[in-house]
Amino acid sequence: MLSLGQKAYKGGQIYSWLYKVRQYDFHQMTDLTKEIRNRLDEDYVFNLLEIENESVSQDGTRKFLFRLSDGNPVETVLIPASMNTGQGGDRATACISVQSGCALGCRFCATGTMGLLRDLTPGEMVGQLLGLRERFGNDAFTNVVMMGMGEPLLNFDNVLKALHIITNKDGLCVSARKVTVSTSGITPGIRKLADLELKSSLAVSLHTAIQEKREQIMPVARSFDLNDLIDAMRYYTRKTKSHITIEYILFKDFNDGMDDVKALTHFLQGLPCKLNIIAYNPVEGLDFTRPTDEEVDAFARKLYQRLPAVMVRKSRGSDVNAACGQLAVQQQKRRK
């Protein structure tokens, strides 16, 4: 607004119209003068992301394929609190993407088979949430996790800008405590987040506390090893006075033995955290096997006595490839 010779507060008015009211026609922004509205309409455009496809799981989880302006795809998942609330509602979680594809190439993840197409802009991240609210209303979701396609800490600046809009009272007005940033262990980014002392939560995808095994399934571990990762996580908890959520995907006959229990116990000892254990969701063409529910529960029981907070999470939306690790546009050619 200043660049248009207007008062700065008018920028706040437009901000509220776009994100809070969800009014994208400048001519309908009635607290602006007709002159400003005409100028905005001439020089600016505000386009929502286009929903190209929607898949609905038996458990009520919905997966959306958004097509970006340049044709690149991203997927977004809306997870209801229960099977009875298929359109969001109470405690629904929106899982949004931060990149189209992903460069990390984790061996168990469908998104990694796409490679990285490009980073998303802040508007494209927020746009996924606006699309959900356009479809289901202001109560479409209560929680947001940056846990879809891509690695948030490799698109750091854009993620921060998106976080500001998502949590701002005149933006999407989501409590920062209900927003989670998930990383595969980009340790410089974890330290930068700690220094910013944001109120949002942090989740770290660990999957094994044995360095050699982690390198086998997560190439990023070669650049940021477990010693560096635990140092960064301890720094984060000290600086922010908050817990970290540790994500642990369980693969049958790979990271489910007693040696894995001992390594995990030793690695997380003294770290303020909670551990989420989730069974691997199969991806066609990838050589990992899903453990049974009984095997997952047995692994968790071995950890209950050793770690302060252990939870077994059930997968949602796996029948439409919307579960953890399954996001990859089916039409997109996969890399070998």
Alpha carbon distance 96, 171 (integer Å): 17
The SS3 assignment for 73 reads strand
Identify the active-site residue in 102, 106, 273, 324: 324
Element (H, E) at 119: strand 116-119
Q: Which residue reads 């008015």 in tokens?
A: 13
Question: Are 202 and 246 contacting, i.e. CB atoms less than 8 angstroms apart?
Answer: no
* Nearest by Cα to 251 from 212, 215, 284, 277: 277
Q: Is residue 77 within 8 Å of 149, Cβ to Cβ?
A: no
Say if CB 200 and CB 181 are below 8 A apart: yes
* Of 75, 124, 151, 247, catalytic: 75
Whether residue 75 lies in the annotated active site = yes
**Residue 55: how many CB atoms within 10 A of its CB?**
16
Sign of CA dihedral 233, 235, 238, 242: negative
Q: Is 151 a catalytic residue?
A: no
Burial of 16 (0-12, 13-18, 19+ CB in 10 A): middle
Q: Bridge partners of 66?
A: 51, 74
Classify residue 76 by burial, with Cβ atoms within 10 Å: 0-12, 13-18, 19+: buried
* Of 181, 184, 185, 163, nearest in space to 172 by CA: 163
Catalytic residues: 75, 324
